[in-house]
Structure 1
Amino acid sequence: MQSSRIQLTPDLSFSTFVHGYWRLTDWGYNNEQIVSLIQEGLDLGVTTIDHADIYGDYECEAIFGKALGGRSSLREQIELVSKCGIKLLSEKYPDREVKYYDLSYEHIVRSAEQSLKNLQTDYLDVLLLHRPSPLYNPSEVARAFSALHQSGKVRYFGVSNFTPQQTTTLQSYLDQPLVTNQIEISVNCLEHFDNGNMDYLLEKRLHPMAWSPLAGGKLFSAANKDRMPLLEVIHALANQKETDIATIMYAWLLKHPVGIMPIVGSGKIARIKDAVHAQSVQLTDQEWFKIYQATLGHEVP
């Protein structure tokens, strides 16, 4: 089975499942192993790859780029996404006294150009603002986006962790539409059902990328006793459908009509195969609501 695709714009589509590389430094892979992982992902139809400037303490993009470098045919088969805007406390930046956000023109352009250098590519398919900043000037963001687009360095732009109003405000300053919002969505995180984001995304025909789609692994530990009602429902459904709980969690996301694109953050191809397999598991409305209700902790009104 191959990952299906979701059309974001007339000339840009993503694989429904996105491969996330934020843990790349933990995998300990050499260049050949990274290339093999990319190619095995392509065999599964997983063509979209998610990065951010800060991942691995600013190391992941460069490690990936060394593996990708010089393989133009491979680059043409994938969609590269990166994010910018967070400034971490890091030994690499000894002048920083606090973690903070920087969405200035200078930082966005400099960060995007550094990502291109690290990834050893001429362009990003999509650049996302990693977090909204209470201090940002949307006019500066618009100017940075315009400069990066006109130079051919970034094809499209989006946001991450933005609320509906924050997305609307930024969009009002831009010449081209934002193409996605990367947000946390899982059976354990209903935040964006509550804050209006899912309704907003449906209205604007935007397809969200879902980070931490398996709830950060929290539901795989029996220690999370407060999640026992949810775990019982998921395990029961997994038993009924003769599959595992991860598949049920992915299937729950895929059922939503907004077109969620889960980010699979594993370096094991077997985990990516399992994620893609979730497309073959169908949940009924009642089964979906059993999970939803278990997370809410009460029945719907």
Structure 2
Amino acid sequence: MKTVPFGTTGIAAPNIVAGMMRIADKDDDEIRGLYQAIRESGIDFFDHADLYGFNHPGGGVHHCERRFHEALQLSSSERAEVTLQTKCGIIPDPFHYNQSYEHIVASAEGSLRALGTDYLDVLLLHRPDALVEPEEVARAFDELAQAGKVRAFGVSNHTPRQIDLLKTAVTQPIVVNQVQLSLTHATILTQGLASNMVGVDDSVTRDGGGIVDYARTHDMTLQAWSPFQKGLSAGIIFGAPEYPELNAELDRLAAQYDVTPTAVATAWITRHPAGMQVVLGTTNPQRVADACAGSDLPLTRAEWYGLLTAAGHTLP
């Protein structure tokens, strides 16, 4: 498993992360089996959110975090071997965003209880809050850090300017930004390639000024969520009839490297020099193994750009 620098922490983290969003309906044996397969694949980094599992019958906020702890009951030594990351800031009922001091601290405390741990390795703000007051975020982060309850902080789905706004008050390093990225949902990369091209959809800047370049110049780690999803619509890219050229190229490279298309799609993200982490959402142990085979797959520039164009993106 290839590792990448994790922000400015000085820690080397695996470039593939296990997302726990879909364990809400899994029993203890299934969660333990998935966890074992993940660890055997070389992943020791687990991504949660207070929101995950909220709509599961009998679940509620922090449900997936609780199921993770209930099923695994990690010993203190095993807890120290893994990285637990979670997110806060989305309120499901009524649906809205909240980055107030009170909510950040209360959510972190709830995650600590649900996960059965004394500390969170990483806490992210899940979605931008239009009503954010940076001083409140700073107060919450400082308090959680000083109490030893959170070791590192980051954001998710934030633009460079939104991060700059937080930094007007937040002094804790913002070490990560988790954003959507896949071969067919790749505007954070394509907008720079097709910039200044009139009438080309890929040239439209949607993130307020270059998420990828901002992360690289500020030593932030990017985490790619939904790495195999077609886009905002449901479904994955593999076998999708609307992407015949992409699937043909994925199959060709999979045969060439003796891996699966899942590994190739993973490698397309991990190949980028920004040192991104791929956040898997699968609960299938075999798919975890397939993706991990792409952790350090040495795609050439020609192969990387060939996948990009096969996915329908424009190279001027």
TM-score > 0.5 by shorter chain? yes
CA distance in structure 1 between the partners assigned to 2:296 and 2:12 by the alignment = 21
Instruction: Please tell me whether the aligned partners of residues 246 and 307 of structure 2 are also in contact (alpha carbons under 8 angstroms).
Output: yes
Q: Which has the larger helix fraction?
A: 1
Instruction: Please tell me whether the aligned partners of residues 270 and 296 of structure 2 are also in contact (alpha carbons under 8 angstroms).
Output: no
Residue 218 (1) aligns with residue 236 (2):
yes
Question: Aligned runs of 1:113-152 on 2, under 5 Å?
Answer: 113-152=109-148
Gap runs ≥5 in structure 1 = 90-95
Gap runs ≥5 in structure 2 = 55-60, 192-206
Instruction: Please tell me whether the aligned partners of residues 138 and 172 of structure 2 are also in contact (alpha carbons under 8 angstroms).
Output: no
Offset, 1:165: 1.1
Question: Aligned runs of 1:93-242 on 2, under 5 Å?
Answer: 96=94, 99-193=95-189, 194=191, 195=207, 196-215=210-229, 217-223=235-241, 225=242, 227-242=243-258
Question: Aligned runs of 1:231-270 on 2, under 5 Å?
Answer: 231-270=247-286
Instruction: Please tell me whether the aligned partners of residues 239 and 247 of structure 2 are also in contact (alpha carbons under 8 angstroms).
Output: no
Offset, 1:100: 0.6
CA distance in structure 1 between the partners assigned to 2:12 and 2:298 by the alignment = 23
Instruction: Please tell me whether the aligned partners of residues 138 and 170 of structure 2 are also in contact (alpha carbons under 8 angstroms).
Output: yes
- The residue number in structure 2 matching 1:24 is 23
- The residue number in structure 2 matching 1:61 is 65
Offset, 1:297: 3.8
CA distance in structure 2 between the partners assigned to 1:245 and 1:44 by the alignment = 17
Cα deviations by residue, 1:166-210 (Å, 9 ceiling, x for unpaired): 112212322221110001111111122234111111111212111
Residue 49 (1) aligns with residue 53 (2):
no
Offset, 1:36: 4.2
Q: What letter is aligned with 1:153?
A: K
CA distance in structure 1 between the partners assigned to 2:130 and 2:9 by the alignment = 33
- The residue number in structure 1 matching 2:288 is 272
Residue 77 (1) aligns with residue 81 (2):
yes
CA distance in structure 1 between the partners assigned to 2:74 and 2:15 by the alignment = 27
Query: Normalised by the size of structure 1, how large is the TM-score?
Result: 0.89
| Aligned-residue identity in percent | 39
Instruction: Please tell me whether the aligned partners of residues 141 and 172 of structure 2 are also in contact (alpha carbons under 8 angstroms).
Output: no
For the residue of structure 1 that corresponds to 2:18, the secondary structure is strand
Query: Normalised by the size of structure 2, how large is the TM-score?
Result: 0.85
Cα deviations by residue, 1:77-113 (Å, 9 ceiling, x for unpaired): 1000000000113xxxxxx3xx110110000000010
CA distance in structure 2 between the partners assigned to 1:243 and 1:109 by the alignment = 44
Offset, 1:56: 1.1
- The residue number in structure 2 matching 1:92 is none
Offset, 1:244: 2.0
Q: What letter is aligned with 1:187?
A: L
For the residue of structure 1 that corresponds to 2:236, the secondary structure is helix
Instruction: Please tell me whether the aligned partners of residues 69 and 119 of structure 1 are also in contact (alpha carbons under 8 angstroms).
Output: no
Cα deviations by residue, 1:197-235 (Å, 9 ceiling, x for unpaired): 111111112121110111264212434x2x333333323
For the residue of structure 2 that corresponds to 1:220, the secondary structure is coil
**Superposed CA RMSD:** 1.8
Q: What letter is aligned with 1:4?
A: K
